[in-house]
Amino acid sequence: MKTIINGMIVISFLLLTGTKVQAQGRMQGTDRVEQLKKELSLTDKQVEKVKDIYANSREEMMKARNENMGDRDAMRKAFRENTDKTNKEIEKILTPVQKKKFDVLKEQWRKQMEERMQNMRQRNN
């Protein structure tokens, strides 16, 4: 069980901080920005804002990780809150059409995360 929880925390952190782990198909921050640029048809101004949002998110995640080291529940809560905050900040700069597309992307990302977690659980059993 500890391994699963640790895995969830690590995966959440990697997704939120944008660390790239190519073998497992995760995206780094720049890849995520490029995906949003392409999928949502972001303007150059929006791209710069998204980059700033992700950079701030990474800083907050590192701070949360350092402050909550050893407390998995607190870390998980901080990561979840940071993800929600980041998504809301991104949504603020999107048009209504882009927001609908962003909702679809977030659902795809959630499903991918669930699949990775399922695979981790199966490997650990």
Q: How does residue 28 score in pLDDT terms, banded at 50, 70 and 90?
A: low
Domain extent at residue 51: 2-124
pTM of the model: 0.72
Sign, CA torsion 47/53/59/61: negative
Give the chain's domain count: 1
**Segment 22-27 mean pLDDT:** 48
Q: How does residue 115 score in pLDDT terms, banded at 50, 70 and 90?
A: very high
* Distant-in-sequence, close-in-space partners of 41: CB < 8 Å, separation ≥ 6: 98
